[in-house]
Amino acid sequence: MKIDLHTHSNSSDGTDSPGELVNKALAHGIDVIALTDHDTIAGWDGAISHLRSGISLVLGSEISCQTIDGISVHMLGLLFDEADENLQQLMAQTRENRVGRMERIISRMNEAGIEISMAEVLAQLSQGATLGRPHLADALIAKKVVKSREEAFEELLHNNSKYYIPHMSPTPEQVIKQIKAAGGVAVIAHPLASLRGRTVSLESFASMAAAGLDGVEVSHRDHTPEQRELLQSVISEFGLIATGSSDYHGNGKLNQLAEFTTEPVAFEALEAKANARRVVKA
């Protein structure tokens, strides 16, 4: 069984359409694939329509959060009820905040003499997709300012860059509660991925667990062996479920489909925590 619980399509900053993603997952021999675009469920229908026998779909979203100390946290919400208005509103608010934030990043770059416009960034975005820094990277590639998304992040877009501005988003505890209220399960994504900036303290796992956190993405390319070990101890301490996933972004990142996977028993335990059976099969 190959289970990959974290991937992106071009409904956010991945480069494959949701349908292409499902096709590639099938070709890879993946049994269960989750679609987790940033702050949106816009890709769900496209993924469902490409399902065939041999693969099941876990519908979700990677929801942006920020701790009161300003640390960025990504929370995977899986298997929630799409009809839940509060969760949809929460994601819509974050998508809106991302637009103003992008305008501010662009004006900082303009002030520093980098010529780039909002229109050029939006031209990189698929219809209805969540806007993010990777689209700014793509616009900079189109203008030959940089050669790749990697270079764009290394040189200009990383979290410690003078151009970096976070976008407003709710706290991890708030997001966990909303995911749970919508009947889904909450898994914190790459919690110790320190390449991206400051990461949550181990103490904050206690408050996230109290808010209803179900799982922790332990196996992820941005975690060192030591970080994975540390997370295993957090999991034992709070009775959480360990997942593994690729965080695939098509050709927008090096991550390959199913490069890390989730154990079937862990997946079954997660699925049992949703308030309904929502895994989609053809």
Chain position whose Cβ is nearest to ligand AMP: 132
| Closer Cβ to ligand AMP, 13 or 16, answer by number | 13
Binding of residue 16 to Fe ion (CB under 5 A): no
Strand partners, 244: 219
d(CA 221, CA 101): 28
d(CA 119, CA 131): 12
Binding of residue 39 to Zn ion (CB under 5 A): no
How many residues touch ligand AMP under the rule CB under 6 A: the total is 11
Binding partner at 250 among Zn ion, ligand AMP, Fe ion, none, C-beta below 5 to 8 Å by kind: none
Both tokens of 43, joined, read 């890709």
Site string for ligand AMP, 9-38 (x = CB under 6 A): ----x------------------------x
d(CA 29, CA 54): 8
Binding of residue 13 to Zn ion (CB under 5 A): yes
Pairing mode of beta strands 280-281, 56-66: antiparallel
Interface residue with ligand AMP, options 6, 50, 133, 190 (CB under 6 A): 133
For residue 45, give the nearest of 5, 73, 17, 14 by alpha carbon: 17
Site string for ligand AMP, 216-255 (x = CB under 6 A): ---------------------------------x--xx--
Would you call 119 exposed, middle or buried from its count of C-beta atoms within 10 A (0-12, 13-18, 19+)? exposed
Site residues (vs ligand AMP, CB under 6 A): 13, 38, 132-134, 149-150, 153, 249, 252-253
